[in-house]
Structure 1
Amino acid sequence: MNILENIHSSLIFYPTKEFYSSPADEGIIHEEVFIDTEDNEKLHGYFFPAKNKTTKTVIYLHGNAQNVSTWYTAPVEIQKHISVNFLLVDYKGYGKSTGKPTIEGVIKDACAMYKYLIQKGFKSNDISLYGRSIGGAIALELGAREKVKSIVVQSSFTSLRDIAKEIYPIVPGSLVRDDFWDSKELIKKINCPVLISHGDKDEIVAVSHSYKLFELANEPKKLIILKGATHNDISSYLNKEYFEALKELFL
C-alpha cells in the first residue's frame, strides 16, 4: 500500500474492535462465520437465516465506523418484513476481523463474502447486495465484477473524490485518485435491478449524490428519498414503500 492510499484509508475508515452487543444477547438465530480472504486475512461476521427457509440471500455491506456488534440490528430489522437470509461481515480491522482496512482491501473483502456464499451452494441469481454509505460504493464495485440478483445503494456518494472535496474542502481534490470508488462510472456497468435510497436531511453525504447516481443507473431502477432522515438515523425512517421495493428486489 502506498503512502497516498494510507492517508486516504486513515481519513475514511474508523474501525472499532470493541464489541458492544451480540445477536445471541437478544436470542436472534444466527451463525458466526469466519471467511478467508485472498490476501490471507480472516473476516468475522454473522449469517442470519430467514424465518422461512430460502436461498435468497443478501450481503449487507456496512459503513465506515463501528463493527458488526452494532450493525447487525439493521439487517435483522429488515428480516421482520422480508423472509431473506443476510450475511453481515466486518471488513479487515473491524471487530474480530484481522488486518487493516484499505480502499482496495475492502473490495477484496466483499469479493471474499460473495465467494463464501457461492462455495456454500448459493447461486449468483439468489444473491443481492445491500450497501450502506461506503458500503454502497463497495456494493457497486462487487456488482460490477460479479453477477448478482439486485443491489441496494443507501446513503452513498458519487465518488470518493466528490465526497472528499465536500467533507475536506481544504484538501486538494487532485490528491484523491479519481478511480477510487468511482460510483458514477461503476453504476453504468450494473445491469441488475438497483434501488437507490437516501435521507433528504443527510448532513454527511448530500442527497444530491443519490439523485446523480439514479440518473446514471441503467433500468430497472428505483429511487426512494426518505423525508426527515439523516445519515445515521435512516434505518428509523424505512417505510412500507421501502420494504415493498426490497421485496421486489430480493425475492
Structure 2
Amino acid sequence: MSATRYLLILPLMAVIAYMAIVALVYLSQRSLLYPGAGAAPLPEPATWGETAHIKTPDGELLHALYSQGDSDKPCVLLFFGNGDRVDNYAFLARALAARGIGLLAISYRGYPGSTGLPSEKGLLTDGIAAFDWLSAQAAGGIVVLGRSLGTGVAVHTTANRPAVGVILVSPYLSVLSVAQMHYPFLPVEFLLKDPFRSDLNIAKVRQPKLFLHGRLDDSIPLSSGEALYRLAPEPKRMVIYDGAGHNDIFNDSMVGDVIRFVEALKANGP
C-alpha cells in the first residue's frame, strides 16, 4: 500500500472505530447506568426490617425492606444509588429506629428481588408506587431520601407527592450533564435514553430540602450538586463534607445530619 493511499484510508478507519465506540456505548448504556440490576440473591432472613412487596401501576412487583417507626414521627423513604442494594442499609435503619423513625428502602425494578428491567420511566414509576404504599403505613408523614442516581427519583417523587421533606445525597443536575462530563468525546445528548433531568423538576419541590455532598466526589462532582441547589426553591440547606467522596459519604456525622433534619420537620407538612 502506498503512503498516499494509507493516509487516505487512515481517517476512514478512525471514523469507523469512533462509530463502533458510539454504537457500543449506545447499546450498553443501561448496563452501565444500572450496574446493580440483576438476579443476585438477597440474604434470608433480611438484614434489617421486614420484607415488603409493592405492586407498581404497570404490573411490576418491587422487593422492599420496611422498618416501622413511631406513628407520630415521619418515615424515611430511601431511593439508593445505581449499584446499591436494600440490605446495605441496616446501619441507617438502626440509627433511625433508635429515634423512633421508620425506613422503607425499595429495590428498583430489575434489581435483586424485583421484577422487570430498569429505565428512567420505570424507576420514576417505582418511586411513586413506593410513596403511595408507604402513605398507607406512615401516619407521621414521609421524608424522601435519595442517594446518587436515586436523587433523580427523589426529586420526581417529591415534585408529585406530598412528602414533608427531601434529602438529596450526592445529587446531580442531571444524569445527562454527568455523562457529558465523563464522556466528553461522545454526543451524549443524542445517545442517552435516561437523562434524569432533576434540573427541570427541582423548582416543583417546595418542601424543605437538605443537600449533602462530599467535596472529593469524583463520580458526581460537587459542582453538579451545587448547580441543582442553586435552582432549588427555599427552604433549603446544603452541607458539604470536606473529607468525603462518593462512596464514603455515609458516616456518623452525615447520619446525624439526616436525623436532625427529619426530627425538625413537622409531621403535617412543610
Specify the TM-score bucket, using the shorter chain as the normaliser.
Answer: 0.7 to 0.9
**Pairing partner for 2:146 from 128, 131, 140:** 131
Q: Give me the whole-angstrom Cα distance separating, in 1, the residues matched to 2:128 and 2:253.
A: 28
Aligned to 2:250: 235
Q: Give me the whole-angstrom Cα distance separating, in 1, the residues matched to 2:154 and 2:224.
A: 16
**Pairing partner for 2:58 from 6, 27, 39:** 39
Aligned to 1:160: 175
* TM superposition shift of 1:61: 0.4
What is the identity, as a one-letter code, of the residue corresponding to 2:219?
I
The alpha-carbon distance between structure 1 residues 5 and 53, as it changes in their structure 2 partners (threshold 3 A), is: farther
TM-score, normalised by the number of residues in structure 1? 0.85
What is the identity, as a one-letter code, of the residue corresponding to 2:122?
G
Q: Does 1:100 align with 2:117?
A: yes
**Pairing partner for 1:89 from 106, 110, 118:** 106
Aligned to 2:211: 196
Aligned to 1:223: 238
Aligned to 2:83: 65
Aligned to 2:40: 18
TM-score, normalised by the number of residues in structure 2? 0.80
Q: Percent identity?
A: 27
CA radius of gyration, larger in: 2
* TM superposition shift of 1:68: 1.5
The alpha-carbon distance between structure 1 residues 78 and 211, as it changes in their structure 2 partners (threshold 3 A), is: farther
The alpha-carbon distance between structure 1 residues 61 and 67, as it changes in their structure 2 partners (threshold 3 A), is: same
**Pairing partner for 2:160 from 145, 153, 161:** 145
3-state SS of paired residue (1:197) = strand
* TM superposition shift of 1:69: 2.5
Number of aligned residue pairs: give it: 241
What is the identity, as a one-letter code, of the residue corresponding to 2:33?
I
The alpha-carbon distance between structure 1 residues 195 and 174, as it changes in their structure 2 partners (threshold 3 A), is: same
- Pairing of 1:4-15 with structure 2 (within 5 A): 8-14=29-35, 15=37
Q: CA RMSD in A?
A: 2.6
What is the identity, as a one-letter code, of the residue corresponding to 1:111?
I
Q: Give me the whole-angstrom Cα distance separating, in 2, the residues matched to 1:174 and 1:11.
A: 16
Q: Give me the whole-angstrom Cα distance separating, in 2, the residues matched to 1:87 and 1:47.
A: 4
Aligned to 1:205: 220
Q: Give me the whole-angstrom Cα distance separating, in 1, the residues matched to 2:109 and 2:43.
A: 19
Aligned to 1:244: 260
Which consecutive residues of structure 2, in runs of 5 or more, have no partner in the other structure? 1-24
Which consecutive residues of structure 1, in runs of 5 or more, have no partner in the other structure? none
